[in-house]
Chains A and B, each alone.
Chain A
């Protein structure tokens, strides 16, 4: 080995040692525990939140599915009947206040409304009133009688009842069966 090269190698080695020496600083003994404390106090990291939310979501879905599956049949039937009643009332009941006018300018097809059933529909049965009857009641309330009728002046003669004759029922002798009359 040449002297220059040997010197260079020696100086490299000593330089490396010096660098190692100045970098051989240790953190305080509490450093790791302080890091742990900080991580413990920090909000949950994204990956932890992900797993937590995934687990929570799965549980919620399972509960919802279990509730839907274990629902009694009568509730489902009510739910099935409810929208029909609502829809029929909406369609059949004419509005007396505002006459229905067809919107001729509208080119869009009428939107098909999804029937909604409120919670009250499940609690109380819906009142089904005949539309004609409802219209008659409204008409009666809107137009009161013009004059009162004095009922004491009205005389009603009793009508004679028609004559009614009873026809006798046919009679038979039970002992006649034993004697073979009805063979």
Chain B
């Protein structure tokens, strides 16, 4: 009897450890994705990290319910996107943040830096003006060089839909950037 109980407890414990290990792997490989998705909405590294953390916490709490573990990234993207949008909506200091210079990693010279910052700010404004469904496609295509197939997998959409949305989004962006 005791052996049987012990075996059940050991099995349960090992399964628990397997799940934790698996989540750890997912966390390592998806942390940048979650951060960038949050950043694309919030455009503030600190806030983006907060939101990404929250997304991971939510994902962790219901990781077991995720039947298809290969869909973790898609799941995480949706959670992060939703949380970031909510955060943005509840953030009353949005207008103040928009007035601040946009963070950029490409700043070779002061003049180029100013031009690049201005261009980046213009692009962000254009992206912000897109409807959500087009914006998400553009952002995901721009993160980690995802191709159409990967974006379709992340959003669980047909590739044709992603392609057409990406085309529409680019058209709109070009119009807005001119």
Closest to A24 in B: B105
Quick one: which of B40, B62, B138, B142 contacts A45, CB cutoff 8 A?
Answer: B62
- Cβ–Cβ contact B170 & A15, under 8 A: yes
Quick one: which of A18, A28, A38, A52 contacts B123, CB cutoff 8 A?
Answer: A18
- Cβ–Cβ contact B8 & A58, under 8 A: yes
Is there a chain B Cβ closer than 8 Å to A36's Cβ? yes
Is there a chain B Cβ closer than 8 Å to A117's Cβ? no
List residues 59-117 of chain B with CB under 8 A from any CB of chain A.
Answer: 60-65, 102-106
- Cβ–Cβ contact A27 & B174, under 8 A: no
Which range holds the interface residue count of chain A?
Answer: 35 or more
Interface string of A17-54 (1 = CB under 8 A from B): 01111111111100110111011001001111011101
Please classify the interface of chain B as helix (H, G, I), strand (E, B), loop, or mixed, using the class held by over half of its residues. helix
**Distance to closest chain B CB from A131 (angstroms):** 47
Interface string of B128-171 (1 = CB under 8 A from A): 00000000001101110100000000000000000000000010
Contacts of B39 in A (CB 8 A): 23, 25
Interface string of B1-40 (1 = CB under 8 A from A): 1101100110011011001000010011001100110011
Interchain CA distance A7-B145 in the complex, whole Å: 22
Interchain CA distance A55-B141 in the complex, whole Å: 45
Which range holds the interface residue count of chain B?
Answer: 35 or more
**Distance to closest chain B CB from A21 (angstroms):** 6
- Cβ–Cβ contact B61 & A42, under 8 A: yes
Interchain CA distance A15-B170 in the complex, whole Å: 8
Contacts of A24 in B (CB 8 A): 105
- Cβ–Cβ contact B5 & A58, under 8 A: yes
CB within 8 Å for A27 and B31 given contacts A11-B174, A65-B1: yes
- Cβ–Cβ contact B56 & A23, under 8 A: no
Is there a chain B Cβ closer than 8 Å to A62's Cβ? yes
Interchain CA distance A58-B6 in the complex, whole Å: 9
Closest to A43 in B: B61
Contacts of A38 in B (CB 8 A): 53, 56-57
CB within 8 Å for A23 and B40 given contacts A28-B45, A35-B27, A36-B27: yes
**Distance to closest chain A CB from B56 (angstroms):** 5
- Cβ–Cβ contact A55 & B9, under 8 A: yes
The 8 closest A-B CB pairs, nearest first, are: A47-B64, A19-B142, A27-B35, A62-B5, A45-B61, A55-B9, A51-B12, A23-B142
Enumerate chain A interface residues (CB-CB to B < 8 A).
11-12, 15-16, 18-28, 31-32, 34-36, 38-39, 42, 45-48, 50-52, 54-55, 58-59, 62, 65-66
12 more contacts with CB within 8 A, not counting A27-B32, A39-B56, are A11-B174, A18-B119, A18-B123, A19-B127, A22-B120, A25-B35, A25-B48, A31-B35, A51-B12, A52-B16, A59-B9, A62-B5
